[in-house]
Amino acid sequence: MASSRRIFVVGGSGFLGQAVCRAALARGWEVLSLSRHGAPKQAAAGHGGPGDPLAGGVRWIKGDALEPDTFREHLAGCDAVVHSVGVLMENGYKRLADIGYRSSSSRSAPTYESANRDTALSMARAARGTAGVGAFVYISARDAIPFIDSRYISTKREAERELLAHRDQMRPIILRPGFMYSPARPATLPIAAGTKVFQALFDRTPLGCALKNTPFAKAASPPLRRELVADAIVNAIDSPGVSGILEIADIERLGARRSS
């Protein structure tokens, strides 16, 4: 049986964060999650009702990832922090107010710098200053995405570099997945199917050669099921030898590993 742990999830009400919380709770771990408003509304968090472990299993912390004084005391006793907050585009399509980032009249809308980099580094610095926090999980990305501002990936790489620079103080676990999908989010399924078709065409037909040196080559990576990524995260936390950057093949291997 896997050892009992306590983890602190930033973004526990988000798409991947929910799956991480469920995977950890299924192992009997204690889960805390940072949110501006504390416990999210059931509909907003995507809870399945009273039977959903998130409904009563997560301890929701009211705070702001960019303001350490609002969450620092809750890091005490935690074994790991999981950061799953971020934005793909700076157009307000994804509200971060309920997943650990405050967007208000006193602060401008989330940017790549604030959401993808600064929230992670704020959490990591607080975690390094807290005795007992041994690992920090950061959800990065495999590569730049065609037609998306290059700052999306550059800010993630900046966060990666600082986490790796302090690996002697806290174990960095940096995941670089591609597109993530889940039956729980039906809209992601056709995108995942299309990505798989494109990857097959890219790998097995002359189309791949023609597009090899174009931005489209970066889209030819296998999509990953959200639940597999979540299992990879909890398995990585529970494996002291896992550290550094985890590419798609590493994530697939860890996600398929049975808990012991």
Nearest to 135 by CA among 82, 60, 76: 82
- Confidence (pLDDT) at 253: 96
pLDDT at 117 over 80: yes
Q: What is the pLDDT of residue 1?
A: 41
Residue ranges of the alpha helices (H) in the chain? 15-26, 42-45, 53-57, 119-128, 151-165, 188-204, 206-211, 226-237, 248-256
The CB density around residue 102, as the number of other CB atoms within 10 Å, is 17
The pLDDT assigned to 98 comes to 42
C-alpha 181/C-alpha 160 separation (Å) is 24
Tell me what pLDDT residue 96 has: 43
pLDDT beyond 80 at 208:
no
Q: What pLDDT band is residue 173 in, cutting at 50, 70 and 90?
A: very high
In the chain, which segments carry CATH 3.40.50.720? 6-178+225-256
Give me 77's structure tokens: 């006793």
Q: In angstroms, rounded to a whole number, what is the distance separating the alpha carbons of residues 132 and 134?
A: 6
Residue 95, classed as helix, strand or coil, is coil
CA 6, 98, 189, 27: dihedral to nearest 10 degrees?
10
Count of residues making up the chain: 260
Cβ atoms of residues 173 and 136 within 8 Å:
yes
pLDDT bracket for residue 221 (50, 70, 90)? confident
* Residue 53 or 118, more confident: 118
The region of weakest confidence among 44-53, 80-89, 225-234 is 44-53
Q: What pLDDT score does 38 carry?
A: 73
Average pLDDT value for the chain: 84
**What is the DSSP-derived secondary structure letter of residue 100?**
T
pLDDT digits (tens, 9 = 90+) for 127-166: 999 999 999 999 999 886 777 889 999 999 999 999 999 9
The answer to whether residues 20 and 83 touch, using CB atoms and an 8 Å cutoff, is: no
Structure tokens at 194: 């299309």
Residue 106 has what pLDDT?
A: 45
Given a contact cutoff of 8 angstroms between Cβ atoms, the answer to whether 218 and 145 are in contact is yes
Which CATH number applies to 6-178+225-256: 1.10.510.10, 3.40.50.720, 2.60.40.10, 1.10.10.10?
Answer: 3.40.50.720
pLDDT of residue 75: 98
Instruction: Mention every residue, 6+ apart, whose C-beta is less than 8 A from residue 245.
Output: 140, 160, 164, 174, 176
Those residues with Cβ within 8 angstroms of residue 239's Cβ, 6 or more apart along the chain or in another chain = 254
pLDDT tens sequence across 48-87: 555 566 767 999 999 999 999 999 999 999 999 999 998 8
In the chain the first and final C-alpha atoms are separated, in Å, by 5
- For the whole model, what pTM was predicted? 0.84
Query: Can you tell me the mean pLDDT for 19-48?
Result: 79
**pLDDT of res. 60:** 93
Buried b (16+ CB within 10 A) or exposed e, 122-140: bbbebbeebeebbbbbbbb
Give the Cα-Cα-Cα angle 113, 119, 122 (nearest 5 degrees).
115
Asked if pLDDT for residue 43 goes beyond 50, the answer is no
Nearest by Cα to 8 from 100, 107, 90 = 100
